Amino acid sequence: MLLILYVLACLLAPQTARADALAEMRKDGRLLWGGDQEGGGPYVFPRPDDPARVTGFEVDFAARLGEYLKLEAVFTQGQWDRMPDMLRTRKIHAIINGYEFTPERAEVMEASIPYYVYALQLMARKDDSAINSWDDLRKGQRGAKLKIGALTGSAAESYVRRFCAGLCEVVSYDGNTDSMREVETGKLRATVQDTPIASFYGSRFPALRRIGEPVARGYYVVYVRKGETALLQAINEAIVLMVRNGDLERIYRSYGIWDEQQTELADIVDKGRFYGYYKAADAKVEKNRMPAREDVQAGTRKRGWRVVKDYGGILLQSAGMTVILSTISFPLAILLGLLVAVGRLYGPRWLRLPLAGYVEFLRGTPLMLQLYFLFFFLPEIGVAVPAFWTGILGLAVNYSAYEAEIYRAGLQAVPKGQMEAALSLGMPRGMALRRIVVPQAVRIVIPPVVNDYIALFKDTSVCSVVTIVELTKRFSVLSMSTQATIELMAMTAILYLLMSYPMSLLSGRIEQRLGLEQAA
Amino acid sequence: MITVTGLVKKHGPNTILKGISFKVRKGEVHAVIGPSGGGKSTFLRCINGLEQFQGGTVRVGEHVLTPATDPRRDAQLLEAVRRRTGFVFQQFNLFPHLTVLENVIEAPVHVLRLSRETAVERARALLDRVGLTAKQDAYPRGLSGGQQQRVAIARALVMEPESILFDEPTSALDPVMAGEILSLMADLARDGQTMIVVTHSMSFARNVADQVHVFADGYDVECGPPSGVFEEPQHPTTQAFLTQTARD
């Protein structure tokens, strides 16, 4: 059903850009660029001194790009693999997030010239003398294949899979640095990382060493919507200037990720050779006004109470988002669910089948898919709901199906004689439902409803797929950039418990009170 | 006041009522007796529209229910009929989430739209009459079956219906409590309350009713004043039924 709607939307939606994005952006004065801070350093990650804000070489790059375009660069959080959807549905103007140039992506989006040349770096433990080259990976040990870690869906993953060709085992991880940690602990023998990560996090993982030269070089590029050539041209010209003026070198050096591969950037700019690149040879060279700055380093890993002290505040703040999401969406879910249940049991016959379909559809499809649908499909048919309200709406509608079923059971548990007694007193059906049947059903369903509230409370974490940063997402983001996973996990779990346990207590109290009322 | 003509009620392949005609005048007490499964309760439920039926008519005052009467479309008609005919259930059916007083004032306040004060005044008078003033703030679960049924009668009376339908009001009660309820009903009858009572209490039918009807197998097989029905039963079913109950 979703698929049909989607296809329909694709047919209905205008295929070309509606207006020149650059002109719109000039009016608004902002360049909205998308990235996922969960990706970690050195790209976009929470500032160690102020985790509510982001830093990273791409943050600096975007800011400088904005200066050249005379626009304010504004970071927009989104899930890394959903960036093209966010771009298509106009939630952002550009993707700047370690997106490699690939011909497939260039088919559906406009790719700028590269702003960084990356390669793949093989890493293993310092004390592991068996691995000294890529070829050692294929040798295995005592008949068992060696395990190599890589980031899910990355160029590194597909490269190492091709390289292994069945002679070694590739394990995929969702976080950049997960596999580095796994090598350190000995669960993996080696990992393949993009060079910026290997350079930036080298100090965090002192037990690792680089094996051989980086291989398989590729390009990080800025992607904009298909057909927006004016914006693309402007970005390309800005990148040309940033290369010639030394802005890029300055930024990359400050993160310790400038290497000799980057000289190719100048080569591309001078010779104008790159897929889809409009040569900007006549772009004016300005004097570099970029202030010098201190080097940004990952430093050593924070541990113990230090983590609690530095990140407790931001976690607590994100827990607030979790509370807000659940306290707004659940009452809506209850109301909607009650209406659906009453409609199914007492409504006109023609309404019952659609309502049954509503319940089955929402219960039978994942919440995540429904949120994607609301967030990425509605804009296609011209309904743009902000991320926050998409989350509220998605949770409320999804849970309304479960509440409807609970209420249906509750309403059916009220003896038939209650409705008959109310009717025999001359009450209209609606009044009998409202005053006699529903109040009794509500008492019956309190325990399962509270149970669902706690479930919804934890399901708010799915809202991160529509760019909302709540407690779980914040935990992922922080743990990816700090590697203090254990401490952060404990704090997050405690926060969830602190929030959900009082609800259990409260429901116990309500149950007890209603029980007394009826037994008195 | 209530006129039933040729009432037919079917339930799937079974015909529960096979053409009942029945006339109740103001102030009369009619008792309906007979073996179980004879259609007594169904008949009562057809009169106030809790059951739809397939043939005949039910006339309550100027309101007429027919087989075409639809619970949704003709909701207002049904509400009008029900306001004129109180109903007392075998299982009491008090509202468990409301106190005794709230049970009684619920309909006057929300259906008749009386002010709360007026409703409470009426309710107190009735609770006093059924002897439950002390229990007005209790919840139904805290009451004995007999007390619950007395509240249910007060709840029906407070609407000041022209007639009250009693559906085996004492069948769920032990003999002592049943006796209390029956004497309360006899009181109401003395005050001129129009009633149709489906009952297994032969003494009530014999001593209180103006007319006794014997229902068997969907027919009103015999009706008349209690003296006639009890002393000189004409129909074999009545004779068998009375012999049976006398033996109990």
pLDDT score recorded for residue B25: 93
With tokens 């619920």, the residue in question is B106
Q: In angstroms, how far apart are the furthest CA atoms of chain B?
A: 55
pLDDT score recorded for residue A291: 39
Contact A203/A298 with Cβ under 8 angstroms? yes
Contact B91/B172 with Cβ under 8 angstroms? yes
Chain A CB within 8 Å of residue B63 CB: no
pLDDT score recorded for residue B225: 93
Q: How many residues does chain B have?
A: 248
Give the residue among A155, A177, A98 at the shortest CA–CA distance from A478.
A177
CA angle A390-A392-A394, nearest 5°? 65
Place A17 in a pLDDT band, splitting at 50, 70 and 90.
very low
Asked whether the predicted pLDDT for residue B114 surpasses 90, the reply is yes
B142 vs A519: CB contact, 8 Å cut-off? yes
B93 vs A421: CB contact, 8 Å cut-off? yes
Chain B CB within 8 Å of residue A516 CB: no
pLDDT score recorded for residue A5: 52
Q: Residue B181: CB partners within 8 Å, gap ≥ 6?
A: B146, B149, B150, B153, B169, B170, B173
CB pairs below 8 Å between A and B: how many?
A: 73
With tokens 């006899």, the residue in question is B186
Q: Is A129 exposed, middle or buried (0-12, 13-18, 19+ CB in 10 A)?
A: exposed
Asked whether the predicted pLDDT for residue A355 surpasses 80, the reply is yes
Chain B CB within 8 Å of residue A513 CB: no
pLDDT tens, residue by residue, A333-354: 999 999 999 999 988 889 999 9
Q: Is B58 helix (H, G, I), strand (E, B) or coil?
A: strand
CA–CA dist A413, A407 (Å, integer): 9
B87 vs A424: CB contact, 8 Å cut-off? yes
With tokens 């990355």, the residue in question is A154
Contact B164/B85 with Cβ under 8 angstroms? yes
3-class DSSP string for A427-473:
CCHHHHHHHHHHHHHHHHHHHHHHHHHHHHHHHHHHHHHHCCCCHHH
With tokens 């001593």, the residue in question is B207
Q: Which helix (H) or strand (E) holds B157?
A: helix B145-157
Chain A's closest residue to B109, CA to CA, is A427
Interface confidence, given as ipTM, is 0.94
Contact A148/A125 with Cβ under 8 angstroms? no
Chain B CB within 8 Å of residue A138 CB: no
pLDDT score recorded for residue A300: 62
Report how far Cα A143 is from the mean position of its chain's Cα atoms: 40
Q: What is the mean pLDDT of residues A132-142?
A: 82
CB-nearest to A418 from B87, B93, B107 is B93
CB-nearest to B75 from A429, A439, A440 is A429
pLDDT score recorded for residue A49: 80
Asked whether the predicted pLDDT for residue A232 surpasses 70, the reply is yes
pLDDT score recorded for residue A305: 81
Of residues A82 and A494, more confidence is placed in A494
pLDDT tens, residue by residue, B1-38: 899 999 999 988 999 999 999 899 999 999 999 888 88
With tokens 């993982």, the residue in question is A205
Taking only residues 347 to 376 of chain A, the set having a beta carbon closer than 8 angstroms to any beta carbon of chain B reads 348
Q: What is the mean pLDDT of residues A83-98?
A: 89
Residues from chain B contacting residue A443 (CB–CB below 8 Å) = 97
Chain B's closest residue to A346, CA to CA, is B72
Which residues on adjacent β-strands are paired with residue B23? B3
Contact B36/B218 with Cβ under 8 angstroms? no
Q: Which helix (H) or strand (E) holds A112?
A: strand A109-125
CA–CA dist A93, A91 (Å, integer): 7
Residues from chain B contacting residue A431 (CB–CB below 8 Å) = 110-111
Residues from chain B contacting residue A435 (CB–CB below 8 Å) = 106, 110
Asked whether the predicted pLDDT for residue A366 surpasses 70, the reply is yes
Chain A's closest residue to B138, CA to CA, is A520
* Dihedral angle over CA of A285, A290, A292, A293, nearest 10: -140
Q: Which amino acid is at A488?
A: L
Chain A CB within 8 Å of residue B94 CB: yes
pLDDT score recorded for residue A205: 86
Place B56 in a pLDDT band, splitting at 50, 70 and 90.
very high
Asked whether the predicted pLDDT for residue A24 surpasses 50, the reply is yes
**DSSP secondary structure letter of residue A141:** B
CA–CA dist A366, A395 (Å, integer): 11
Q: What is the mean pLDDT of residues A278-291?
A: 43
Q: Residue B223: CB partners within 8 Å, gap ≥ 6?
A: B211, B212, B213, B214, B229
Asked whether the predicted pLDDT for residue A15 surpasses 60, the reply is no
pLDDT score recorded for residue B20: 92
**What is the pairing mode between strands A147-151 and A54-55?**
unpaired
Is the Cα torsion angle A41, A45, A48, A49 positive or negative in sign?
positive
A423 vs B50: CB contact, 8 Å cut-off? yes
Of residues A1 and A430, more confidence is placed in A430
Give CA separation, A123 vs A173, A216, A255, B223, in Å. 15, 15, 20, 103
pLDDT tens, residue by residue, A143-200: 788 889 888 777 888 888 888 877 888 888 877 778 888 888 888 889 999 888 888 8
Chain A's closest residue to B51, CA to CA, is A420
Give CA separation, A508 vs A449, A452, A498, A501, A513, in Å. 12, 14, 16, 11, 9
Q: What is the mean pLDDT of residues B94-116?
A: 95
Asked whether the predicted pLDDT for residue A271 surpasses 80, the reply is no
Q: What is the mean pLDDT of residues A38-44?
A: 82
A518 vs B110: CB contact, 8 Å cut-off? no
CA–CA dist A257, A423 (Å, integer): 78
pLDDT score recorded for residue A312: 85
Distance from CA of B104 to the nearest CA of A (A): 10
B48 vs A424: CB contact, 8 Å cut-off? yes
Q: Is A401 helix (H, G, I), strand (E, B) or coil?
A: helix
Residues from chain A contacting residue B110 (CB–CB below 8 Å) = 427, 431, 435
B110 vs A431: CB contact, 8 Å cut-off? yes
With tokens 């006794």, the residue in question is B212
Q: Which of B44, B78, B79, B163 to mutate to test the interface with A (most CBs of A within 10 A)?
A: B79
Asked whether the predicted pLDDT for residue A331 surpasses 90, the reply is yes
Chain A's closest residue to B157, CA to CA, is A425
B111 vs A417: CB contact, 8 Å cut-off? no
Contact A265/A271 with Cβ under 8 angstroms? no
A435 vs B83: CB contact, 8 Å cut-off? no
B97 vs A425: CB contact, 8 Å cut-off? no
Asked whether the predicted pLDDT for residue A280 surpasses 50, the reply is no
Chain A CB within 8 Å of residue B96 CB: yes
B96 vs A440: CB contact, 8 Å cut-off? yes
Which tokens hold the place of B79?
Answer: 């509400």
Q: What is the pTM of this model?
A: 0.73
Residues from chain A contacting residue B82 (CB–CB below 8 Å) = 423-426
pLDDT tens, residue by residue, A462-488: 888 887 888 888 888 888 777 778 888
Chain A CB within 8 Å of residue B107 CB: yes
Tell me phi and psi for residue A311, to 5 degrees. Answer: -115, -5
CB-nearest to A518 from B86, B97, B107 is B97
Angle between helices A263-271 and A229-244 (to 10 degrees): 130
CB-nearest to A426 from B50, B79, B95 is B79
Asked whether the predicted pLDDT for residue A494 surpasses 50, the reply is yes
pLDDT score recorded for residue A296: 54
Q: Which amino acid is at A232?
A: L
CA angle A312-A468-A156, nearest 5°? 90
Q: Which amino acid is at B47?
A: I
Give CA separation, A142 vs A126, A134, A145, A161, A477, in Å. 21, 18, 8, 21, 38
What's the mean per-residue pLDDT of chain A?
83
CA–CA dist A34, A27 (Å, integer): 20
Q: What is the mean pLDDT of residues A127-134?
A: 84
Q: What is the rounded radius of gyration, in angstroms, for the C-alpha atoms of chain B?
A: 18
Q: What percent of chain B has pLDDT over 90?
A: 78
Contact B34/B53 with Cβ under 8 angstroms? no
With tokens 């983590």, the residue in question is A307
Which tokens hold the place of A357?
Answer: 């379909």
pLDDT score recorded for residue A268: 81
pLDDT score recorded for residue A259: 83
What's the mean per-residue pLDDT of chain B?
92
Q: Which of B44, B81, B106 to mutate to test the interface with A (most CBs of A within 10 A)?
A: B106
CA–CA dist A43, A60 (Å, integer): 10
Chain A's closest residue to B73, CA to CA, is A348
Is the Cα torsion angle B169, B175, B181, B184 positive or negative in sign?
positive
Chain B CB within 8 Å of residue A519 CB: yes
Q: Which of A424, A438, A516 to mutate to test the interface with B (most CBs of B within 10 A)?
A: A424
B96 vs A421: CB contact, 8 Å cut-off? no
User: How many H-runs (helices) and E-runs (strands) does chain A carry?
Assistant: 21, 10
Q: A486-510: b or e for each residue (b if 16 or more CB lie within 10 Å)?
A: ebbeebbeebbeebbeeeeeebeee
Q: Is A196 helix (H, G, I), strand (E, B) or coil?
A: helix
Q: What percent of chain A has pLDDT over 90?
A: 27
Which tokens hold the place of A56?
Answer: 């990273």
pLDDT score recorded for residue B81: 94
pLDDT tens, residue by residue, A408-425: 999 999 999 999 999 999
Contact A426/B82 with Cβ under 8 angstroms? yes
Q: Is A29 exposed, middle or buried (0-12, 13-18, 19+ CB in 10 A)?
A: exposed
Chain A CB within 8 Å of residue B122 CB: no
B138 vs A520: CB contact, 8 Å cut-off? yes
pLDDT tens, residue by residue, B175-206: 999 999 999 999 999 999 999 999 999 999 99
Chain A's closest residue to B87, CA to CA, is A424
Q: What is the full DSSP assignment across A55-105?
A: ESHHHHHHHHHHHHHTSEEEEEE--GGGHHHHHHTTS-SEE-SS-B--HHH
Q: Which of B45, B46, B82, B95 to mutate to test the interface with A (most CBs of A within 10 A)?
A: B95
CB-nearest to A439 from B93, B97, B138 is B97
Chain A CB within 8 Å of residue B79 CB: yes
Distance from CA of B87 to the nearest CA of A (A): 6
Contact A45/A37 with Cβ under 8 angstroms? yes
Chain A's closest residue to B78, CA to CA, is A426
Place A273 in a pLDDT band, splitting at 50, 70 and 90.
low
Distance from CA of B135 to the nearest CA of A (A): 11
CA–CA dist A356, A401 (Å, integer): 9
